[in-house]
Amino acid sequence: MEQHRKAKLEEKGFRVGTAAEFLGLKPEEETYIEIRLEISGLVKSQRKKRGLTQQQLARAIGSSQSRVAKMEAGEPSTSLDLMIKTLLRLGISKKQIGNLLTGKLKPDLETA
């Protein structure tokens, strides 16, 4: 947020902070959420890059289209196990997944 906007809001009595502060998240909880969102973004970008529909990807991983949609939306009900399995089915390597987790690779994954 721009500093002058933040100052104006604070002058009016608003408290300005991060989503993690608002939700009272511990650093490890915030990191976990970020990882899930990055993985879900990678699933979506790689599915689209390969020209697959959610239904086609669902069939490839033995799941449903609605589960793929939830996975891509970062729904907490979707297991990390299924998300990793999906990335592997999309051709993402263990090294690329590791790079994503360590911040060396961004979810758009231009170079595989």
| 107's tokens | 């979810």
The pLDDT of residue 109 is 53
The answer on pLDDT for 8 being more than 50 is: yes
Q: Cβ(33)–Cβ(75) under 8 Å?
A: no
60 or 106, greater pLDDT: 60
In CATH, which of 3.30.1360.200, 1.10.287.990, 1.10.260.40, 3.50.50.60 is domain 27-112? 1.10.260.40
The answer on pLDDT for 16 being more than 90 is: no
The answer on pLDDT for 92 being more than 90 is: yes
Q: What DSSP assignment string belongs to 6-75?
A: HHHHHHTT-----HHHHHT--HHHHHHHHHHHHHHHHHHHHHHHTT--HHHHHHHHTS-HHHHHHHHTT-
* Across 64-79, average pLDDT: 96
pLDDT digits (tens, 9 = 90+) for 21-59: 888 889 999 999 999 999 999 999 999 999 999 999 999
| 42's tokens | 């990678």
Domain spans in the chain, listed from the N-terminal domain onward: 27-112
- The DSSP 8-state label assigned to residue 97 in this structure reads H
